[in-house]
Amino acid sequence: TPSDLQSILKFTVDLARTSGRLILEGSEAIQAASESDVNEKKNSVDLVTEYDVRVEELVKKEIKAQYPAFKFIGEESYAAGSRPALTDEPTFCVDPIDGTTNFVHGFPFVCISLGLIYKRRPVLGVIYNPFLDQLYTGIKGQGSYLTSRSGSPRKLPLSSPKPWTSLSQGLLAVEWGSDRSEKTITSKSNAFGRLAGNPAQGVTGGKMAHSLRSVGSAALNFALVAQGGLDLYWEIGCWAWDVCAGIVIAEEAGGLVTGPHDAFEATVSSDEFGDVTEEILTGRKYLVVRAIAGT
C-alpha cells in the first residue's frame, strides 16, 4: 500500500545514508593506498573493489533484518553466483556502488542505488551520492524528490521541461560501458559521432545535439534526467541494479523510460544503438535506456 511504501522509503533512505558513509570511508582508503586494491571482473575496465562487496553485505544484512521475507538481487551477490529468479514477491535490487570506475579514480559521481521491485515492476527508488550529499527518491504514483545537502526535499523535475522535438536542443548522456569489443566500440563511436554532428556522417547543422556527457554512473544519469539537467540518457548494457531505482525516479518526474524493465531476461543487440534518432523524441524530457543482462 502507499503507506507501506512510505515506511519502506524511510528505511531505504536511512540505509542509503549509512552506506554513503562507508563509501566515503572507502574512497579515502582507496585514494590513500599506495597499492591498487582494485580487481577486474570481465576485463581491465570492468572494476570492482573491496568496498563494493562491503557495502552490499551491509545492505543485504540490514534488509534481511528489517524485511526477512523480501528477496534480494545485488550486483556483487549476482557476480558471486546468487541469482534469484524474478518473481512477484517484493525484491530489493541494489547496486552498492554505481560508478565504480569513478570511485576508484576519485571522480565524485558515485552513488548507491537501491530499488524495490513488486510484481515485477520497480515501485520505489533511492539513489544517494555521498560525495555531493544528493539524495534522489521516488515512489510509484507519489512523485520523486531531490534532497541536497540535507535541505528540504524538492519535487522533480526542478524546472518544467520545455517542449523540444529535436536533438539539437538537447544535452544527452551516453556511456562507453565496459564492453570494448570492436563491434560495440565501432557502433557506439558512429552513433556518438552522429549525435555530435559529424559532417562526414551526413549530419546537418540543426540535427546535432548541444553536447554529449558521460557521467559514469547509470543511476546518476537517470537522476539527472529526472532533475532536468540532462534531456536524455542512452545506454545499452545496463544491468537491473543499474536502472531499477532510476526507472521510478525518472518516470515519476515525467520522463519516459524505454527498454525492457524485466532486465534479467532481456537481451538487446548493440546494433540497436543506431536507432537513437529524432523520431523517438517528441515533446517531453525523454530518457532512453536499454537494460540488458550483459554477458
CB of 127 to ligand IPD, least distance (A): 11
CB-based burial label for 236 (10 Å; 0-12, 13-18, 19+): buried
Give the DSSP letter of residue 292.
Answer: -
The Cα 198–Cα 59 span in angstroms is: 45
Give the DSSP letter of residue 238.
Answer: B
Q: Does 26 bind ligand IPD (CB under 6 A)?
A: no
Q: Does 242 bind ligand IPD (CB under 6 A)?
A: yes
Active site residues: 75, 95, 97-98, 100, 242
Give the DSSP letter of residue 210.
Answer: S
CB of 264 to ligand IPD, least distance (A): 14
Annotated binding residue 271: no
Site for ligand IPD in 169-228 (CB under 6 A): 175, 177, 216-218
The Cα 177–Cα 260 span in angstroms is: 18
Closer of 157 and 237 to ligand IPD (Cβ): 237
User: Interface with ligand IPD by CB under 6 A: which range of 81-89, 91-99, 119-127, 284-292?
Assistant: 91-99
Could you say which of 20, 26, 99, 228 contacts ligand IPD (CB under 6 A)?
A: 99
Asked if 261 and 236 count as a contact pair (C-beta separation under 8 A), the reply is no
CB of 46 to ligand IPD, least distance (A): 7
Annotated binding residue 75: yes
For the record, the C-alpha cell of 256 comes out as 519516459
Whose CA is closest to 111, among 87, 92, 94, 90?
94
Give the DSSP letter of residue 291.
Answer: B
Closer of 137 and 221 to ligand IPD (Cβ): 221
Q: Does 95 bind ligand IPD (CB under 6 A)?
A: yes
What one-letter code names the amino acid at 42? K
Annotated binding residue 98: yes
Q: Does 30 bind ligand IPD (CB under 6 A)?
A: no
Closer of 5 and 52 to ligand IPD (Cβ): 52
Annotated binding residue 95: yes
The Cα 12–Cα 93 span in angstroms is: 12
Closer of 8 and 223 to ligand IPD (Cβ): 223
Could you say which of 167, 238, 250, 253 contacts ligand IPD (CB under 6 A)?
A: 238
DSSP 137-205: EEETTTEEEEEETT---EESSSSPPPP--SGGG-EEEE---S---HHHHHHHHHHHHHHHT-GGGT--G
Residue 56, C-beta contacts closer than 8 angstroms, at least 6 positions apart: 74, 75, 76, 77, 94, 96
The Cα 264–Cα 93 span in angstroms is: 11
User: Interface with ligand IPD by CB under 6 A: which range of 5-13, 235-243, 263-271, 281-289?
Assistant: 235-243
Could you say which of 20, 228, 237, 246 contacts ligand IPD (CB under 6 A)?
A: 237
User: Interface with ligand IPD by CB under 6 A: which range of 29-37, 232-240, 243-251, 275-283?
Assistant: 232-240
What one-letter code names the amino acid at 244? C
Q: Binding residues for ligand IPD, per CB under 6 A?
A: 75, 95, 98-100, 175, 177, 216-218, 235, 237-239, 242
Cite the annotated binding site for Mg(2+) by residue number. 75, 95, 97-98, 242
Cite the annotated binding site by residue number. 75, 95, 97-98, 242
